[in-house]
Copies of this chain bind each other. A is one copy, B any other.
């Protein structure tokens, strides 16, 4: 692994020289300082005048392979859309998932994401794709038993088997699809299994009003959050996607347990699931709020910068408060908070941290104004301002070129042709 020297790069509006070695940010000093550094050996140097460094994004709720399912069930309500997706998923195989994940990684790289938390079938295919593309992924087996006792036993056995094979891959995350697809027995089994091994849990929670109403009807008036609380599911190791329909008590339970709550505004608005995400309340209660895009079948892309802007705009609008979800907190939600949930030292540009860095080209109209860099980055620019991306100390994109892009697109088209035939 070659060392990387980023010369004269803007970090937090100050020009710096930045040295990356062994996957780690080794040195950050004033621009020009590198002339005095001892830089023998294998070194790639990049002149970064007109560029800025930001932490790579951490997309905390993805179904990567769905990159090949864009436009599926357009204009449908969540539960109709989900039935539609499930029918399609009967036709897909590991090859589809592998190439879907490759496309997803390509798109995440081009939009500045260095790590993602996935939930999908055949997760080893997604893990393989991410490893080849040089991205960090967090994933593992996804449990879905349909409240069938025999299937529950089978699912639990498969999860154990998957963990045997891949449990030592960083970051292994055990998923339960949701409370409306997974039995209480399997939810409890998963929580116990994950905690004995110190691995995070990932689940969809309170995504739609219907989910909450159905849960209350089925479980003596308990909301999904209360129901999961009654099963002992919650803890700081749980990553809960959506958390959109919450009572005050739900917010307190999630906050007290230090749950990671992932806001997926583009998916929620597009499916008309809801938009009043309780950002302030969850943050103040002690939850770890992150951002995600959800899968492309609902979102319809994996662009975290776009998700950030939409999240901020919608939050300001429904709260009738233009200062809601301010930029520094938004940046944290998009990188540092996610890294924290996954137990990786990323999401901040500082010495000793993992070198997961997006290099932003600021030499364009979007960064002309004297506003702070981060405000221009989120509100004005688009993800194509991300010139280069470093993950784990290696370039995964240089000047908008991602190795192997052409081959990935061609292979994905072949896979789609087969499915559509």
Contact = CB atoms under 8 A, between A and B. Distances in A.
A409 B272 contact: no
Interface string A310-326: 10111011111111101
Interface residues of A, number: 67
Given A70-B369, A413-B368, A320 B272 contact: yes
A301 interface: yes
Interface in A307-361: 309-310, 312-314, 316-324, 326-327
Interface in A379-407: 379-384
A32 interface: no
Most B CB within 10 A of own CB, among A269, A381, A383, A413 = A269
B68 A369 contact: yes
Contacts of A383: 382
Contacts of A110: 365
Contacts of A380: 70-71, 296, 300-301
Interface stretch (A5-13, A72-80, A221-229): A72-80
Given A310-B310, A382-B382, A72 B320 contact: no
A364 interface: yes
Contact of A71 (B301, B312, B324, B371): B371
A313 to B, nearest CB: 4
A269 B369 contact: no
Q: Which of A270, A303, A317 has the most CB of B within 10 A?
A: A317
A131 interface: no
B420 A379 contact: no
A371 to B, nearest CB: 2
Nearest to A265: B313
Contact of A416 (B363, B369, B416): B369
A275 interface: yes
Contact of A369 (B71, B268, B369): B71
Nearest to A99: B368
A274 interface: yes
A409 B274 contact: no
A129 interface: no
B72 A272 contact: no
B266 A313 contact: yes
16 contacts: A67-B368, A70-B376, A71-B371, A71-B372, A72-B369, A75-B322, A270-B316, A271-B316, A272-B320, A301-B366, A301-B381, A303-B382, A314-B317, A364-B409, A382-B384, A384-B384
